[in-house]
A and B are shown apart, each in its own frame.
Chain A
């Protein structure tokens, strides 16, 4: 075996290569060289044979020459001195009457990546640029780029650059595209090849001569060109129109990208282009190559962000077929969730329901989450399917359904009664920690409606010793304390046992600290505990706001037809994106639960600081959450009222998660209605609070128009009360400062 004793192999090959009998027999000689290359591919070090291989290169046999060149390019770095021996042969080949030999020699000579080679290749490359065979010119043009990259510090040779610009008018289309590529590399430091009006129009006119690869690459270079006025713009778009619906997916995608970027100021033109590219895009989504299908789906997702109705009539194209790999099915389900509308919801849900019982647990769970997301809008239909699934009594299905219930209850309070009825008996089936957390949360939050809630939680307390997950324990502590507030008689004893165990026997610091915290909180009094843990039981306004606003096309046009929509790290971004939110939801589904849980902890600890750190003034009045305000009512009130005061607070945009901020504000009885996405400019948030029979509305603004590290707060109040308003501002400031100091 070659993997063992490679030294032996090298010796044997060396003997064979220098054996005159082998050398005289063309076939045998070539076979030995083939073996060398095979070992090289497998990763064995064949560099000791360099000398012999160079000799073998001086053959008339072109196949043998090619193999030797491949060998030399691989090892030239290791054996620069020996490589020089080969240069002479290569230079001689560069003058061969056969253009194929000339091109081959020139290409490989430029591929020898070793220091000092440039002085030998400069002359042949320059001669090659004027060669009469286009094959040699193609090689020579790229040779200029290779030469440049071998000595990146040297001055840019102006004559070469001019010559390359001239060669853009070469009759051979590949030479032209290669010139663009070479200029791009040579002029990298100056921002790449310059596309001015004559060049742009020349490229556009040559497009039809190019093959698909050349077309898509040239279209990429044209992205750089900005037309002078609208007339020119529309002339260009007319020229490109045919390529939008051509057969090749790469060309269509490149054309579409160019369309979107050129017409960035004309949203109707962009939308029109997307409508016309619908057919070709759909065709890639059903292509026979899986990878192409996946790429198509990822790009369709981008389009859906701006034109949600675009693909709704074609929803059947996104039904999964059973032979597809999981990663395609996941994408298709995400798309199905997004293009649901009144016409297709029945069939889409029916289709998703079929996936819920899939053999693969991950897929089944993803399908259940998808049904849940549709259930946020069509709650009755969604709930019917989800409750039906509980009947299967399968571990992974029940767990996913309960997690979906938790999110549904938070966003659609009307589903609470139904959910509370359905979750009875789930505790026996759920085994994984995510499912347990969700179930415990539901029992704690809505324990007043579930008769058996304390006893289910008691079972969890009894088996606490064997519980491994910290998060489940934390959730259990919160839920138990919450339930204690609504059903004290039944739970007092259990809560005592739970706190005792967690404080005395628990080794995890996190859990123990939390238990200690609740212990101290309870000692302060039930009312205080209720204030801390009370909060609203659901937040439909968040769900309404989460109905995603249509994103402008320009937000994603720059990344269309790049790796960003397809790459695995990008899928995280896409995952959040399709979770539906320019405004992320609290207690969101899937992956956000962990961070949310951690945040809750952080906030609750922060609240300890807060309570001690609040100024005297703030505690002298009372803010309450009071009656909830719908977004519409808020907007109406906001428009009616006059600005009471605008102040600028010395804190920056909270860099923490919106969930954290919202929870922190709720602790001091300020309700947040809407946030911008973290990091967006300008960043805005809308808040309201009730206090001393007045209602306060506030807008936080950070971004252009105000300083970086200052937050502009506009306050409106009805009726006006100076004292409450001052108190509100000081509470707000403390919260924001505590958050920024505590978390970051």
Chain B
């Protein structure tokens, strides 16, 4: 049972505070903030205790969402609840940030009032909550030229509005100004998080893909939706389907509401999505990547005659030629005490800089097409360079985003709403792979 719930900004401003049981004082907020900011680095902050009051918090969007309790409650339940609260705020207010919470505090209070009574969780389902919540969300959309282009000359809808759905997915689910275009959209996102460790000899040491299919639905009432996955999709090590390259995952689990009666034979998920965002399916794959890892690195590290450290990196992108990686950033740890760096990059749209504070070189490439190969040469001035200093170079870590690409090869064949609705609502399917952790040893 939860005693209080509060939301703080990263600077410690009180954004939301609700006391459910009157067991603890308002002072708890300040106590929490002092504890969490004064915590030494190696102490786990998730659960903290002061005088019999347990503080459990999550950090999302730069905010602290905190629940306090006096009982020895289930940490899984409370953390899942806070995550759900954050997701609901995102659904209702469009985004989770200090600004959106400040603007919509009345709505969040109203939500909390229905979600918890006397500290006990009552419901967190969007379908039920929307009947009780009356406040309208105030969305904080930054002024953007894209919005203007959508209007078009004489108010006519231009072609452009059809191809930029990504911005419109971050708006509140309930809005009374309903005549806006694209209100009844459905977004289906296939998001994969990739963890890779590549050994010094170029051998793949660890691969781990965590994927999920998320549905974000703006339809007020949605009948049944059918999501068709690749027919070759197989689960587990032994199962094989189809003749072509199988799309295989180790394990997958589904949202409670998904019906799987056609999953075994046709790989169709059936769900009646409720308004807002929900994760329909989660899957994992490890140790067995169907295609080559997206990046290969060929590093050379040596000392030159004038005792400078030379790091020569050749980076190849092994994606299919049509796709590309964006926001690629390569971090190379370098010996402590490196003073300055000169660089030679293979094309002008890249940037590299030396960051002495984190003793690393950051190399950034905004767009990296598949099949391409880029190289960079860094010459570092390191006083007192020794053979051991070379050991401090590496491992290289990379972060990137692969739009329109899934590493497992999972695809959505079709998306059907039954019964067919009179004015078909726009449906969008998006694929993206994020690098959770991509490490290459040198």
Contact = CB atoms under 8 A, between A and B. Distances in A.
Given A563-B72, A567-B49, A294 B388 contact: no
Chain B residues touching A, majority SS: mixed
A563 B73 contact: yes
Interface in B320-371: 333, 336, 358-360
Contacts of B256: 212, 246-248
Contacts of B45: 327, 568
B253 A319 contact: no
A327 to B, nearest CB: 4
A293 B336 CA distance: 32
A722 B81 CA distance: 70
Interface stretch (B119-127, B161-169, B306-314, B411-419): B119-127
Given A70-B113, A142-B118, A566 B75 contact: yes
Contacts of A561: 74-76
Interface in B1-41: 1, 13-19, 22, 26, 29, 41
Contacts of A512: none
B214 to A, nearest CB: 11
Nearest to B124: A213
Interface residues of B, number: 88
Nearest to B125: A211
B14 A174 contact: no
Interface in B69-88: 72-77, 79-83
A286 B44 contact: no
Given A107-B117, A283-B253, A323-B399, A253 B110 contact: no
The residue in B18, B42, B109 that gathers the most chain A C-beta atoms within 10 A of its C-beta is B42
A283 B391 contact: no
A291 B58 contact: yes
A327 B43 contact: yes
B89 to A, nearest CB: 15
Give the size range of A's interface with the partner.
Answer: 35 or more
Interface in B237-273: 251, 253-256
Contact of B14 (A42, A138, A279): A42
Interface in B187-237: 193, 195, 197, 205-206, 208, 210, 212
A279 B251 contact: yes
Q: Please indicate which of the listed interface residues A63, A213, A319, A561 has the most CB atoms of chain B within 10 Å of its own CB.
A: A213
A288 interface: yes
Given A330-B42, A566-B75, A357 B437 contact: no
B75 to A, nearest CB: 5
Contacts of A74: 19
A138 B122 contact: yes
Contacts of B17: 41
Contacts of A347: 205
Nearest to B255: A247
A223 to B, nearest CB: 11
A362 interface: yes
B124 A145 contact: no
B251 A316 contact: no
A392 interface: yes
A213 B49 contact: no
Give the one of A253, A317, A321 with max B CB within 10 A: A321
A220 B122 CA distance: 16
A678 to B, nearest CB: 23
Interface majority SS on A: helix, strand, loop or mixed? helix
A181 interface: yes
Contacts of B83: 289, 291-292
Interface string B412-440: 00000000000000000000000011010
B147 interface: no
A254 interface: yes
B44 A294 contact: yes
A174 B282 CA distance: 28
B97 to A, nearest CB: 17
B441 interface: yes
Interface string B57-74: 111000000000000111
Contacts of B135: 63
B405 interface: no
A38 B105 contact: yes
B125 to A, nearest CB: 7
B307 to A, nearest CB: 17
A562 B251 contact: no
Most buried by A among B79, B113, B388: B79
B392 interface: yes
Contacts of B121: 213, 217
Given A74-B19, A217-B120, A327-B44, 4 more contacts: A41-B16, A213-B81, A254-B74, A330-B44
Interface of A: 34, 37-38, 41-43, 62-63, 66-67, 70, 74, 100, 107, 111, 113, 138-139, 142, 145-146, 174, 177-178, 181, 211-213, 216-217, 220, 246-250, 252-254, 279-280, 283-284, 286, 288-292, 294-295, 316-317, 319-324, 326-327, 330-331, 347, 351, 354, 357, 359-360, 362, 366, 388, 391-394, 561-569, 571
5 contacts: A212-B256, A216-B74, A216-B76, A323-B436, A568-B45
